[in-house]
Structure 1
């Protein structure tokens, strides 16, 4: 299936509505797990900073191990089927996690479960990002990404809040069942997408590894994609995915004395701010220009996270809300713009490999970041680790600020990539 050439309102596009609904529902469930998984480790297993960093590292390790071939597999098979099967698989894993953690709690078991969950997330996320350009014309990619980000951000506000309440009411392991249900509902919705994916783009006779490297070369050699990849990779090492994630839950529970319900609501504030960022992104791009808005959106998270080490039990809620909400707003603006640019400059037949290559790099830094964060949390303390993470995140803006991306006024200035045929893609990347 080629991307549509005629633009119709998103609300009338049945395929987009199904994708939108499935993504929003799974986001609610996944945000419950964002709270429930580390709280299971801390409250049920008594995990410290190193164990929590190890848990987060193992969860993202599959992005390093299978991140590149995942793009080939997504391009080889029907993306709808990949999304559906990974949804079912994640539902099964989360459904199994709850009774296991309840009846035989073990850090080793939890590590195995989150590793399996991460492996399926690699495939599911790459397929999800690769299918949108098949459903919408190029002119609607930014609007489509804005709609997805806005609804998922609203879901991310509800998810941690509900997750915190569920953990407090029924325990952290049982809260994971809600995420399991969300993936089952998503699988049902994805199953209704039209069975009209494009023909597989992977060449016969080419190994998975060599085909994966073509996607990596496409990303690394592109003057607009490479700075985005570097910026995101640095940010993910330091901020809420990496170093900071390894110690934030411990800091909130032990030093700030926040209950699971309040901590969930605080995390949800960032997602509520992401809704505002999603809605205001087109306005910011028109007023400031694409490049300037992207630079500011890359800089703000690190600056705002400098507030976290200043928090005390009495000032915890306002400082954490201000920090995380500002960061969430900026992250929404950044993600909408950079994803739209990525989708615009990449042919349909290369979308899977492009997204997988970028995920391989930018999510591949997370395991190292969480391990470093856990080790620093154990040795130099939680507050200093938070400060170092925030300062490191500020440096992530440099690759974009020093690149041609900064000078773009609009993503429409960039020529859209042709939907190359299989032999064109290979000849251009060999």
Structure 2
């Protein structure tokens, strides 16, 4: 009975944590909808809701098997459907090899991570990438690119054997998504009007900062499931204490990142930049994701604080390099994702060599494949909307409707 109760509790916790991470999809949608121009709002929302469906189906059909089944056989549609709850005999038998949560709860928790990685891409390519070209890329990203590099670490592959340490995925999820986004952005090029003839950077403000702020709070909340659920258990005193520590450290890192970015922006620009503050909070969350368990609460705040400073300089640096990322996703999830993985070496004693090899392998795979797939999609069906469609806004061109029609003159 005791083992069954622990099994039920761990399974329930896994499912609730997965639901929290799924709610992050709403956070990404609101954040991106707030940071793009009003004429591109419907299309970015369509991308976000569609990518979630694509990610879930592709991970069911192929991705989960690649990541946790060795990737040797392409599964049929019954792969996960046949993975029913674990047998009562195995649960009651106990021992180190006994399952302590439902297999299906594991799939549910893993699949929402895949969608998170793909959501990073949608913000970076906003306002100029064709909707169905984006979804074609999502098929490859969620079914192949993400699961293969996930196999190398969480699936027990060579990075795991080398000792690469990444508790909830600063590199495996966030840097992977950002590296893929960078590859696509380089193929796409910057938005029209982003740079002057002399190379000067022109600001393109988002349409709805209240919405972007709401999106940030939703992501912040969802991150408790993202990091807390990665403890993978809650039914013992030790695991329950670990979950509590992860929750506190996750929250403190976000606070440190937000204030650091806000102060850095004030020093650099003379104004309190809300968008930098929002990205600072997310940067703090990304930074602590690689190890939210080991540090003290004060140290977690410092790790997030450093991430908040880094993200401001990264956003400015990428803009000056003519890498146009409307929402700062590459900086938040990529540049700070690298810092998060290295912070495990700096503060938690992980091997520097293992962390660097992990970062290099994940980046090379995700960036390289995204670049290749981007060029293939461009050659086959086109990657970018026309200049006329970009001027008018991709809402009308791609979706045939507007997000705020009452503000449009007839």
If the TM-score is normalised by the length of the shorter chain, which range does it land in? Answer: 0.3 to 0.5
Structure with higher helix content: 1
Return the TM-score normalized by structure 2.
0.32
